[in-house]
Amino acid sequence: MEQLLKVSNLQTGFKNDREIQKVLHGIDLEVNKGEIVGLVGESGSGKSVTSLSIMQLLHGTPGKVLAGEINYKGVDLLSLKESEMRKYRGKELSMIFQEPMTSLNPVVKIGKQLTEIIMLHLKYSKKKAQGHAISMLESVGIPRAKDIMESYPHELSGGMLQRVMIAMQISCYPSLLIADEPTTALDVTIQAQILNLLKEIQETSNMGVLFITHDLGVVSEICDRVIVMYAGRIVEELSVDRLFEDASHPYTKGLIKSIPIIGQNKKKLFSIPGTVPSPRNMPKGCKFAPRCEFAMDICWQKEPALLDSNYGKSRCWLEAEDKEEAYDSKYSYRS
């Protein structure tokens, strides 16, 4: 499979008051052509920061990429100047955001927001760009596309706006699409439609998709591979076919157990006790140890490395067991 994106040892921090607080502690991930990779984790696990770091959209936030490499088709995006990076955004890598209602400009007509990106990257004339925009809107299932071009965002529903957003971000045929919880803000019925639409587009265009979500149900439906994040680290990676049977990390297992199943008459839904520790208060060893029912002595002392497991990779002492070399000196997490 052709590799599109390879992120290695990505470290991102947030400046607050005087110090820099690291929130991503060396993320490694790959997205291949024609593949949908799910990036899963609780709120605060660093999923969105990862995607914004890849797009280099941390500008205007206190966030800053501290180290690592983001290799896209052989080019290290982090070494690019802002003016060069702009040529990639929207053209090569596109992004769909969580809140369609606030992610489109309320005072600019839909048509202009669409043609703007088309004229910028495909160098079309205004008229040609409008034609292209209308056909893009039609391709994402928007009826009366011509009228919609003349509408303002507040005149459309959330689901429609997310379709507009998708049409906009795929209008310049990007090779990689980053979807940051694109269905979280939508009704369940609309969610399914948007997921199907994304899957369909991905299949016809053969682009790579990094799909960020906290919903394992969604992952199992559309992803090929899943990466689980916890506290700014990747804790498990495996193919979706294996997810439900062969997940090895207790955190992943906990996430799976907490999916409600229709028809199962449980009084109380399972939930992982506790919350994600704050970056200021990280435990010394495995970051999941305080919430883990299998935590051993070593878990409290040393952080395990991301090692090959039966069907993927896992960052857990249970997997590593005797492998003392598992302690990876490459990344020192005692920050």
Smallest separation (angstroms) from another protein to the CB of 105: 4
The footprint of another protein on this chain (CB under 8 A) covers a number of residues equal to: 31
Smallest separation (angstroms) from another protein to the CB of 107: 5
E strand or H helix at 220, and its extent?
helix 216-222
Contact range with another protein by CB under 8 A, out of 30-38, 99-107, 141-149, 201-209: 99-107
- Report which of 20, 320, 3, 43 is spatially closest to residue 180, judged by C-alpha positions: 43
Query: Distance between CA atoms of 140 and 165, rounded to whole angstroms?
Result: 10
Q: Does 86 bind another protein (CB under 8 A)?
A: yes
Contact range with another protein by CB under 8 A, out of 98-106, 124-132, 281-289, 292-300: 98-106
Nearer to another protein, 186 or 326 (CB): 186
Cβ atoms of 232 and 41 closer than 8 Å: no
105-124 residues near another protein, rule: CB under 8 A: 105-108, 116-117, 120-121
Query: Distance between CA atoms of 222 and 199, rounded to whole angstroms?
Result: 7
Q: Which of 103, 130, 213, 248 binds another protein (CB under 8 A)?
A: 103
Instruction: Encode burial over 144-182: b for 16+ CB neighbours within 10 A, e otherwise.
Output: ebeebbeeebeebeebbbbbbbbbbbbbbebbbbbbbbb
Q: Which of 65, 104, 212, 229 binds another protein (CB under 8 A)?
A: 104
Cβ atoms of 231 and 335 closer than 8 Å: no
Q: Which of 11, 162, 169, 175 binds another protein (CB under 8 A)?
A: 169
Query: Distance between CA atoms of 292 and 230, rounded to whole angstroms?
Result: 12
Smallest separation (angstroms) from another protein to the CB of 57: 6
Contact range with another protein by CB under 8 A, out of 8-16, 30-38, 104-112, 237-245: 104-112
Site string for another protein, 138-157 (x = CB under 8 A): --------------x-x---
Phi first, then psi: what are they for 29, rounded to 5°? -155, 160
Smallest separation (angstroms) from another protein to the CB of 268: 36
Smallest separation (angstroms) from another protein to the CB of 45: 20
Smallest separation (angstroms) from another protein to the CB of 233: 25
Nearer to another protein, 76 or 84 (CB): 84
Nearer to another protein, 121 or 249 (CB): 121
- Report which of 332, 330, 302, 331 is spatially closest to residue 317, judged by C-alpha positions: 302
Q: Which of 50, 68, 88, 225 binds another protein (CB under 8 A)?
A: 88
**Beta bridge partner(s), residue 213:** 40
Query: Distance between CA atoms of 267 and 315, rounded to whole angstroms?
Result: 32
140 secondary structure, DSSP code: T
Contacts of 168 (CB under 8 A, 6+ apart): 113, 114, 117, 136
Nearer to another protein, 125 or 239 (CB): 125
Query: Distance between CA atoms of 116 and 150, rounded to whole angstroms?
Result: 14
Interface residues with another protein (CB under 8 A) are 55, 57, 59-60, 83, 86-91, 94-95, 97, 99, 102-108, 116-117, 120-121, 152, 154, 165, 168-169
